[in-house]
Homo-oligomer: A and B are copies of this chain.
Amino acid sequence: MSVPADGTTNPGYARTPRTTPTRYKDRATWEQEAIHAILDSTYLCHLGFVADGAPVVLPTIYARVGSRLYIHGSTGSRPLRGARGDQGLPVCVTVTLVDALVLTKSAFNHSINFRSVVAHGTAHQVTDPEELGIALDALVDQTVPGRSAEVRPANAKELAATAVIRLDLDEVSAKTREDGANDDPDDLDLPHWAGVIPVTSGFGTPVPAGSTTVPLPAHVRDLTR
């Protein structure tokens, strides 16, 4: 439990030295609800691990199920090798959403409005077929909600070929910036344009494959409208 500045008590993740930022501390939160909301807003993460003493960062997809992340290992088998043993694989999973570019009258004060989550911990490979099935469905539904119920589920052979690692959320924090241009007082009268440029993201018109004989299903329509 963390205690926010307003004195109320919200369920929160543990605060540790490495989830406590050294700068802009007011942008950080450990509150579960805030962290889960960011994690539920996208499906792409960057998975960091150490290989031969050096850092490796790979993009991949994830799904949140409660206080657990399932992370797809198909970007390469390297992370999975480490996660197979009992010791697991120390990882850092980072999720970032950019909301706006913030333009100021000085080069120095330019900024970005964003929401990000950084989770530290030890990941383990999912080997139980039942949990693998749940994880694979969750990965499909994290990208397209409702999709997993309307496709052919994975068979035993596919589950055996699916590489998923599990990270229990414990040492995790979020950072957000949601603000306008913060110019120095001395710069405010400069004849430059300052302001906020929203960054937008969405989906284009779905393009059916040649094999598709059914109309656009609700789960695709809901995602893209």
Within the complex, the shortest CB–CB distance from A208 to chain B, in Å, comes to 4
Which of the segments A3-11, A29-37, A63-71, A135-143 contacts the partner chain? Answer: A135-143
Q: Is the interface of A mostly helix, strand, loop or mixed?
A: mixed
Of B90, B110, B120, B194, which contacts A140 at CB under 8 A?
B110
Which residues of chain A (91-148) have a CB below 8 Å from chain B?
Answer: 91-94, 96, 98, 101, 103-108, 110, 112, 114, 116, 118, 120, 136-137, 139-140, 143-144, 147-148
In the complex, chain B residues whose CB is within 8 Å of the CB of A195: 206-209, 212
- Whether a CB of chain B sits under 8 angstroms from the CB of A14 is no
A55 located at the interface, meaning its Cβ lies under 8 Å from any Cβ of chain B in the complex: yes
Q: How far is the CA of A193 from the CA of B214 in the complex (A)?
A: 6
Q: Assess the A200–B198 pair: CB atoms within 8 A.
A: no
Q: Distance (Å) between the CB of A133 and the closest chain B CB?
A: 9
* CB-contact partner of A216 in B48, B190, B193, under 8 A: B193
Residues of chain B within 8 A (CB-CB) of A190 are 152
